[in-house]
């Protein structure tokens, strides 16, 4: 049995990385360096982990915890991306 907080933190990290990669793969306007990708992944993962600490996961099954974590990671990266554009 995996500790729920570790499960949600890992899923949030994966969600943040996947959303960052999605943006990287769909970025066609100008060059997007690997250095910028790595920096974006670090920021997104840290944001996802910060949000995962506040997730209420008591009583949820392991698949539900993973879904909450993935959603948290995607949301963190999306919010950071929007904040950087404004």
**Are 24 and 38 spatial neighbours (Cβ–Cβ below 8 Å)?**
no
Q: What is the pLDDT of residue 20?
A: 79
The structure tokens listed for 63 are 């698949």
Nearby residues of 70 by Cβ (< 8 Å), 6 or more positions away: 11, 12, 14, 15, 18
Instruction: Say whether pLDDT at 86 is over 60.
Output: no
Distance (Å, whole) CA 77 – CA 17: 8
29 pLDDT band, cuts 50/70/90, is low
Q: How many domains does the chain have?
A: 1
- Residue 47's domain comprises 4-85
Task: Tell me the pLDDT tens digit for each residue of 32-76.
Answer: 677 777 887 788 788 777 777 777 777 888 888 888 888 888 888
CA angle 62, 68, 73 (to 5 degrees): 125
Q: What is the pLDDT of residue 75?
A: 83
């Amino acid at each position: 049995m995996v500790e729920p907080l570790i499960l949600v933190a890992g899923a949030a990290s994966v969600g943040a990385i996947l959303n960052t990669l999605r943006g990287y793969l769909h970025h066609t306007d100008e060059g997007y360096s690997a250095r910028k990708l790595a920096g974006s992944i670090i920021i997104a993962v840290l944001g996802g982990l910060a949000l995962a600490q506040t997730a209420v996961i008591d009583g949820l099954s392991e698949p539900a915890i993973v879904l909450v974590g993935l959603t948290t990671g995607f949301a963190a990266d999306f919010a950071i991306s929007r904040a950087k554009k404004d």
